[in-house]
């Protein structure tokens, strides 16, 4: 697919993601074929906001497109859309698998692969939004305020909640900020 990509920014994203997809695949093969499981791990990735919210607002509006039913060569928009949909589907499948996985090593792999899918999908979403392939509309503050007014914060300093928190602390776990170290 890479040889068909026209946009250098799109190609750069795919070149960055490709080796990790290969590693992901190889790890699944190793889990199936080796009793000791996979030897390598997927790295946890930083999600970099490549473009500002202001730049997203200035992105060209999404151009209407009619899906082509007879495709010999896909254009960048079609390839980007297909890739984003694949990442979203893979992420969902990894999340579901991790929730029910008995093997702790494979569970960890699925969790990390889910995070990789999230990071890669975010890269693609930013690219697509910046090109006008994906509409970006900020919610109006009056609408956000209306919805927000429907909910109230539950105080976490209640004795019962604090007791539950103290009983269920996991000394081996960290906070979500550590996922991106």
pLDDT, one tens digit per residue, over 33-51 is: 777 777 788 777 776 777 7
| DSSP secondary structure letters along 115-126 | HHHHHHHHHHHH
Best CA proximity match to 25, nearest among 82, 88, 90:
90
Q: Is residue 181 part of a domain?
A: no
Expressed as residue numbers, the domain containing 72 is 2-169
Average pLDDT (12-24) is: 88
Q: Is residue 180 part of a domain?
A: no
Residue 178 binned pLDDT confidence (cut-offs 50, 70, 90): low
Q: Is residue 176 part of a domain?
A: no
Question: Is pLDDT at 88 greater than 70 in this prediction?
Answer: yes
Q: Is residue 174 part of a domain?
A: no
Greater model confidence, 68 or 24: 24
Question: Is pLDDT at 181 greater than 50 in this prediction?
Answer: no
Task: Give the number of domains in the chain.
Answer: 1
Query: What is the maximum alpha-carbon separation in the chain?
Result: 64
Q: Is residue 177 part of a domain?
A: no
Q: What is the pLDDT of the chain when averaged over all its residues?
A: 82
Question: Is pLDDT at 162 greater than 80 in this prediction?
Answer: no
Q: Is residue 67 part of a domain?
A: yes
Q: Which distant-in-sequence residues (6+ apart) come within 8 Å of 42 by Cβ?
A: 20, 23, 24, 27, 109, 112, 113, 116
């Amino acid at each position: 697919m890479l040889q068909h990509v026209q946009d250098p920014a799109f190609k750069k994203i795919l070149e960055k993601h490709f080796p990790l997809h290969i590693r992901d695949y190889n790890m699944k093969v190793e889990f199936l074929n080796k009793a000791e499981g996979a030897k390598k791990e997927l790295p946890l990735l930083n999600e970099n906001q490549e473009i500002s919210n202001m730049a997203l607002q200035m992105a060209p509006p999404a151009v209407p497109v009619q899906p082509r039913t007879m495709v010999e060569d896909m254009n960048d928009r079609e390839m980007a859309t297909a890739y984003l949909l694949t990442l979203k589907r893979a992420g969902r499948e990894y999340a579901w698998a991790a929730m029910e996985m008995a093997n702790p090593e494979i569970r960890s792999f699925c969790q990390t692969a889910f995070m990789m899918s999230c990071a890669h999908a975010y890269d693609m979403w930013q690219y697509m939004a910046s090109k006008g392939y994906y509409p970006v509309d900020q919610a109006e503050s009056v609408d956000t305020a209306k919805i927000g007014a429907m909910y109230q914060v539950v105080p976490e300093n209640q004795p019962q909640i604090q007791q539950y928190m103290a009983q269920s602390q996991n000394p081996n776990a960290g906070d979500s900020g550590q996922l991106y170290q």
